[in-house]
Amino acid sequence: MTQETIAFTIVGLAALAVLVGFFRSVLAEPLSALLLKRGKIKLAMKVRAQTKGSGCDHCGPTDKGCH
Amino acid sequence: MSEVLELPKIALAGNPNCGKTALFNALTGSRQKVGNYPGVTVERKEGQIITSSGAKLNLLDLPGTYSLDARTPDEMIARDIILGRQSTETPPRLFVAVADATSLERNLGLVLELRALNKPVVLALNMMDLAHERGLKLDLEILSRELGVPIVPTVAVKKQGIAELIKLVESRLQISGALPVVASPEWEKPNMAAIRVRFTEVDRILKLATVTPARVSVWTEKIDRVVLHPLWGSLLLVAVLAIMFQSIFAWATIPQDWIKGALDFFGKWVGTLLSEGPLRSLLVDGIIAGVGSVLVFLPQILVLFGVILVLEDSGYMARAAFLMDKVMGRVGLHGRAFIPLLSSYACAIPGIMATRTIESKRDRLTTILVAPLTTCSARLPVYTLLIAAFIPNKSVLGPLKLQGLVMLGLYLAGIFAALGMAVVFRKTILRGPKPALLMELPTYKWPSVKNIAYGLWERTQLFLVRAGTVILTASVLLWFMASYPKPPAGAVVDEAHSAITYSYAGKLGTAIEPLLRPIGFDWKISVALIPGFAARETMISALGTVYAVEGQEDHVAEALGQKIAKDWSMATALSLLVWYVLACQCLSTLAVTRRETNSLRWPVFMFVYMTALAYGASFVTYHAARWFGL
């Protein structure tokens, strides 16, 4: 494998991680609510299972100063 | 998971700051955040207890509440779970009422309310060590008989009385096992007469059960005479803050140099392993330069939070809240807003969630809207980089250094911006009556080394995880954007038109630049601000990558600081600092605001007002600095 192939594979994985992260943290919750409104309960639950909390849900004042 | 759900459920209930979370940690072996001030827990937390007979129990840690007559959102969570009103939650089979033994007059009211629900109740009389130190002697037999509940004395932080408590809980569950579970016990909102009767009953019981009353804590009183004094207390607060920010620069230099040296060595070593090519560039210019430029700030973050943890654990922070109440009241903020605002120094997200302790919707919304203006830890690397690059480290005002004072100034700017915006909101869109503060001051105690060490360890882990996920990903993508496409054949590549200007990052930055040029930002800053939305400090790694790709530098953090010092004017640096004080550069904050306000309107409003404020202030700063010839 050439250096270029390995480098581009790493870039591709990073791009995928960003897309998945964006979906889970921003899109999944409103999408699940929308699906629920339209009566697609099973799909809504599947999407909701993908939602990611902010990651700071259980923070105390000096916990997790990660943002 | 299903196994956990089917286990008998017991709940810890008690007043704020009576040690529920410490007891929860001792019972379950978990490490939830505990603090020496009220309102640390604002959500239910769940864990598992294994009894000596091997039986498993589910334990809920509820937010603190003074009564079942809940007034704030966090108290409502506790009340609804206690009363079995939450459809998603199996009602607890037994309550462990937790009471602070040093203030039973206040704590026993809730115990009487729980007892009236006709469910098994066990009382954990916590902080017995402090009660003994103050000379309080209780006849636990009389107390238990009069309250009608069995009692176990505990010292949760020292894990004393834990085995006895688990044993008692197990035996009470076995006794009550044959009885039908009362899913939703009957409860009526008490009127004033009923509340008076309850507390008269508490007084009667305590008179009977008290052998020797507690002495008033002489030390706490003596210290508070200075710490809570309007003048001396305020001066002390300023001094504490000044020392805190000086220490960021003074104490972190040596470990920072070690990290810089290690990264430098690592970058060169990787460079020698691979021949010139895209993978080498990705590893050295993208990942090591990007992630490394953020990693060097870990010691400073740890110094800052080490000091904050000591202040919190000692009980000083609640005094600081008390001192600030007058100022907060003047700008229309509830005194309880201090804890959310203080939490926002770590991260706006727990800060926004901590507003659940504020009962009025207007007060809560005002606090949510201004919380992101306080300086979160993600801003610290940006501040440090710019201060180190542009502010001389000369002594001013005796031992105080200019760099530390500028850092203090930036933190104060965040506070004043938050207070100023609170005034604006309270006088315009969120008008309402002036709130009053009722706040409990904890006793002073020596900070626990274990708590502080664990807090710092946790912070290190989180920082490294973040560096290895969000920042690493952003660095990889930015490397690609800064490296491709390559300049076309025959294109001019010189000082003015480096190869990076032909890349996606160069083109994107150039497209945004006209918008940000009036505030002094060039295309490199413009492009670095974009990944900064995922995490503020990612801007540093983005700049690190952009400059490394442009200059093919191997000296990570040192090169970035030196490079921007050469590349930017002082006016640009000041403008960027002001931008970082005021801008809403955090998607997660907007997401949590949407969740907490249950509306899209408020996060949109937050983003718009903060961006407008940041742009306006940066514009003024940039042009004023240029006018002064900086």
Residue-averaged pLDDT of chain B: 83
Q: Give the C-alpha separation, B32 to B350, whole Å.
A: 14
Instruction: Let me know: does B355 contact B337? Beta carbons within 8 Å.
Output: yes
Q: What is the pLDDT of residues B196-248, one digit of tens each?
A: 888 899 999 999 988 887 776 677 888 888 988 888 998 998 888 888 877 87
Task: Indicate the helix (H) or strand (E) that contains B457.
Answer: helix B449-466
Whether the Cβ atoms of residue B328 and residue B334 lie closer than 8 Å to each other: yes
Q: Is B443:B263 a contact under the CB 8 Å cutoff?
A: no
pTM over 0.80: no
What are the backbone dihedrals phi and psi of residue B50, each rounded to the nearest 5 degrees, phi first?
Answer: -110, 120
Highest mean pLDDT among B275-289, B395-409, B479-493: B275-289
Q: What is the DSSP string of B177-228?
A: TTSPP-SS-------HHHHHHHHHHHHHHHHHHEEEPPPP-HHHHHHHHHHT
Q: Which of A11, A57, A62 sits opposite B346 (nearest CB)?
A: A62
Instruction: Give the Å distances, CA to CA, from B375 to B146, B407, B418.
Output: 50, 11, 10
Q: Which of A29, A48, A62 is the best residue to mutate to test the B interface, defined by the most B CB atoms within 10 Å of its own CB?
A: A62
B280 neighbourhood in chain A, CB within 8 Å? 3
Across B344-358, B421-435, B523-537, B616-630, least confident range: B344-358
Q: Is the ipTM of this complex over 0.85?
A: no
Residue B117 has pLDDT above 60, yes or no: yes
Q: How confident is the model at residue B77 (pLDDT cuts 50, 70, 90)?
A: confident
Helix, strand, coil abundance in chain A, percent, nearest 5: 65, 0, 35
Is A41's Cβ below 8 Å from some Cβ in B? no
Inter-chain touch A62–B466, beta carbons under 8 Å:
no
Chains A & B: contacts with CB separation below 8 Å:
136
Nearest alpha carbon to residue B370 among B577, B606, B600, B578? B606
| Residue B193 CA to its chain's centroid (Å) | 40
pLDDT at A66: 37
Show contacts of B353-357: CB within 8 Å, 24+ apart: B353/A56, B353/A57, B353/A59, B353/B42, B353/B43, B353/B592, B353/B596, B354/A61, B354/B39, B354/B42, B355/B596, B356/B42, B356/B63, B356/B72, B356/B73, B356/B74, B356/B77, B356/B596, B357/B38, B357/B39, B357/B42, B357/B72, B357/B73, B357/B74
Q: Residue B100 corresponds to which tokens in the numbers above?
A: 């602070």
Q: Which residues from B are below 8 Å from A21, CB to CB? A: 470, 473
Tokens 């100022």 identify what position? B327
In the structure encoding, which two tokens stand for residue B29, read together? Answer: 């072996």
Task: List all residues 6 or more positions away from B184 whose beta carbon is below 8 Å from its beta carbon.
Answer: B83, B84, B85, B91
Q: How far is CA B378 from the centre of its chain?
A: 12
> Which of B309, B473, B588 minimises the CB distance to A62?
B309
